[in-house]
Chain A
Amino acid sequence: GQNIDQPTEMTATEGAIVQINCTYQTSGFNGLFWYQQHAGEAPTFLSYNVLDGLEEKGRFSSFLSRSKGYSYLLLKELQMKDSASYLCAVMDSNYQLIWGAGTKLIIKP
């Protein structure tokens, strides 16, 4: 079956760096996505990786290793507004997204 695993919850300190890991097993691979979802709101797109390596976008970076079925989202210079859930999703061979349950990130002052 298809499976996306990510930690349920993480805590970090304002100004620090946090890495959220995601491992996946899917039928086919057409890219990996990270979304941010604030409580009570819709998910919003953060990043897309289809080739191995690191994609950097401001304070956020996303890494992919297809051979290991592994990705991480790196958040630098954490701000209180980064408190949210972070969803990992893989696009399978049918171009549909398979979603992880999300990682709730708590930022403390």
Chain B
Amino acid sequence: IAGITQAPTSQILAAGRRMTLRCTQDMRHNAMYWYRQDLGLGLRLIHYSNTAGTTGKGEVPDGYSVSRANTDDFPLTLASAVPSQTSVYFCASSGGQGADGYTFGSGTRLTVV
């Protein structure tokens, strides 16, 4: 692994089902983030974690939950999927403050039907 790995790449999910999107990084970054990206709306922060063991809510947290049991993994769970959660989901990480910026995973394209 080099960077951030997301799985699955894409998924079609029936409404009401539970789904976990996986995110793993090997850069030992402290901070990790989950975004959703919808056409015309840009990247919106769902949840974040500044360090292992802590999480926080972003701009659009409803219907999603996260955990950060260790530095490398930051899964995102949809407890009961709804069609409005159809989106592209990006996981990102940051090693520090400022010039490092964020490194993004390749994304998960989720369709809820």
Q: Tell whether, in the assembled complex, residue B99 and residue A87 are in contact, meaning their CB atoms are under 8 Å apart.
A: no
Contact indicator per residue, chain A 84-105, by CB within 8 Å of chain B (1) or not (0): 0001000100011101111000
Tell me which residues across on chain B come within 8 A of A48, comparing CB atoms: 98-99, 101
B64 at interface, CB cutoff 8 A:
no
Tell me which residues across on chain B come within 8 A of A100, comparing CB atoms: 42
B65 at interface, CB cutoff 8 A:
no
Q: How far is the CA of A48 from the CA of B96 in the complex (A)?
A: 14
Q: Tell whether, in the assembled complex, residue B98 and residue A101 are in contact, meaning their CB atoms are under 8 Å apart.
A: no
A31 at interface, CB cutoff 8 A:
yes
A-B contact pairs, 10 of them (CB 8 A): A8-B40, A31-B98, A41-B106, A42-B104, A42-B106, A43-B43, A50-B99, A91-B97, A99-B42, A101-B41
A35-B101, A42-B105, A95-B98 given; 16 more Cβ-contact pairs under 8 Å: A41-B106, A41-B107, A42-B106, A42-B107, A43-B43, A43-B104, A45-B101, A45-B103, A48-B99, A48-B101, A87-B43, A95-B31, A96-B45, A97-B102, A99-B44, A101-B40
Task: Give 10 closest A-B pairs by Cβ, nearest first.
Answer: A101-B42, A42-B104, A99-B43, A45-B101, A48-B99, A99-B42, A95-B97, A42-B106, A31-B98, A43-B104
Q: Which residues of A approach B to under 8 Å, CB–CB? A: 8, 30-31, 33, 35, 41-45, 48, 50, 87, 91, 95-97, 99-102
